[in-house]
Amino acid sequence: MRPMDPEGQRLLQRLPDWLPDAAQPAVLVTVWAVQGSAPRQVGARMLTRDGRLLAGTIGGGHLEAQALLDALLVLGHACGGQDAQAPTTTAEDSQETAHAEGGLARLCRYPLGPQLAQCCGGVVHLHYQAVDAQRARQLSAQVQQAQREQQPFQTHFGDATLRERPQPQPTVLLFGAGHVAAALAKVLQTLPWRTVVIDARPEWADALRFPRTTEVLCAEPLRLCAAWGWLGAAAQQSQAAARLSAHLRQLPEVPRPEVTCAVVMTHDHALDRDICEALLHAGARSQGPALRYIGMIGSQSKVAALHQRLRRRGVDPALLDQLVAPIGLRIDGRLLGGSLPGEIAVSVAAQLLALESTGSHALEGGS
Distances (CA, A) of 269 to 214, 275, 299, 357: 25, 10, 11, 31
Residue type, 174: L
- Residue 365 within a domain: no
Give the residue from 165, 187, 209 where a domain finishes.
165
- Looking at residue 359, what is its pLDDT? 64
Residue type, 157: F
Distance (Å, whole) CA 153 – CA 1: 9
pLDDT band at 80 (very low <50, low <70, confident <90, very high): very low
pLDDT band at 90 (very low <50, low <70, confident <90, very high): low
Distance (Å, whole) CA 64 – CA 46: 9
- Looking at residue 84, what is its pLDDT? 43
**50 and 77 in contact (C-beta within 8 Å)?**
no
- Looking at residue 99, what is its pLDDT? 60
Give the residue from 165, 192, 211 where a domain finishes.
165
Q: Looking at the predicted structure, is the pLDDT value of residue 23 above 70? A: yes
- Residue 186 within a domain: yes
Which is higher by pLDDT, 146 or 121?
Answer: 146
| Percentage of residues of the chain with pLDDT beyond 70 | 88
Q: Looking at the predicted structure, is the pLDDT value of residue 189 above 60? A: yes
Give the residue from 165, 182, 200 where a domain finishes.
165
- Verify that 176 and 158 share a domain, yes or no: no
Distance (Å, whole) CA 357 – CA 202: 35
- Verify that 142 and 234 share a domain, yes or no: no
Closest alpha carbon to 43 in 2, 90, 100: 2
Distance (Å, whole) CA 143 – CA 151: 9
Q: Looking at the predicted structure, is the pLDDT value of residue 113 above 90? A: no
Q: Looking at the predicted structure, is the pLDDT value of residue 166 above 70? A: yes
- Verify that 155 and 200 share a domain, yes or no: no
**210 and 197 in contact (C-beta within 8 Å)?**
yes
- Verify that 27 and 154 share a domain, yes or no: yes
Please state the rounded mean pLDDT for residues 49-76.
90
For the chain, how many helices (H) and strands (E)? 14, 17
- Verify that 132 and 187 share a domain, yes or no: no
**Number of domains the chain is built from:** 2
* Strand order across the 93-98 sheet: 52-56, 45-49, 26-35, 123-131, 104-111, 93-98
Closest alpha carbon to 184 in 355, 367, 315, 327: 327
Q: Looking at the predicted structure, is the pLDDT value of residue 363 above 60? A: no
Q: Looking at the predicted structure, is the pLDDT value of residue 50 above 50? A: yes
| Percentage of residues of the chain with pLDDT beyond 90 | 67
Q: What is the pLDDT of residues 240-257, one digit of tens each?
A: 888 898 888 888 889 999
- Verify that 224 and 323 share a domain, yes or no: yes
pLDDT band at 82 (very low <50, low <70, confident <90, very high): very low
Residues near 63 by beta carbon (within 8 Å), at least 6 away in sequence: 39, 110, 112, 116, 118, 124
The predicted model scores a pTM of 0.83
Q: Looking at the predicted structure, is the pLDDT value of residue 93 above 70? A: no
DSSP secondary structure string for all residues of 8-28: HHHHHHTHHHHS-TTSPPEEE
- Residue 308 within a domain: yes
Distance (Å, whole) CA 27 – CA 74: 7
Distances (CA, A) of 317 to 265, 309, 311, 314: 22, 12, 7, 9
Which is higher by pLDDT, 115 or 277?
Answer: 277
- Verify that 56 and 77 share a domain, yes or no: yes
- Verify that 159 and 190 share a domain, yes or no: no
- Of how many residues is the chain composed? 367
Q: Looking at the predicted structure, is the pLDDT value of residue 308 above 50? A: yes
- Verify that 132 and 234 share a domain, yes or no: no
Please state the rounded mean pLDDT for residues 71-82.
63
Please state the rounded mean pLDDT for residues 305-334.
92
Distances (CA, A) of 63 to 108, 125, 191: 12, 11, 23
- Verify that 181 and 130 share a domain, yes or no: no
Instruction: Look up the CATH number of the domain holding residue 353.
Output: 3.40.50.720
Please state the rounded mean pLDDT for residues 161-188.
96
Full domain range(s) for residue 325: 171-358
- Residue 366 within a domain: no
Q: Which helix (H) or strand (E) holds 280?
A: helix 269-280
Beta bridge partners of 123: 35, 111
Which is higher by pLDDT, 21 or 324?
Answer: 324
Residue type, 137: R
Q: Looking at the predicted structure, is the pLDDT value of residue 208 above 50? A: yes
- Verify that 196 and 155 share a domain, yes or no: no
Please state the rounded mean pLDDT for residues 157-176.
93
- Verify that 129 and 248 share a domain, yes or no: no
Q: At 127, phi and psi to the nearest 5?
A: -105, 125
Distance (Å, whole) CA 116 – CA 108: 14
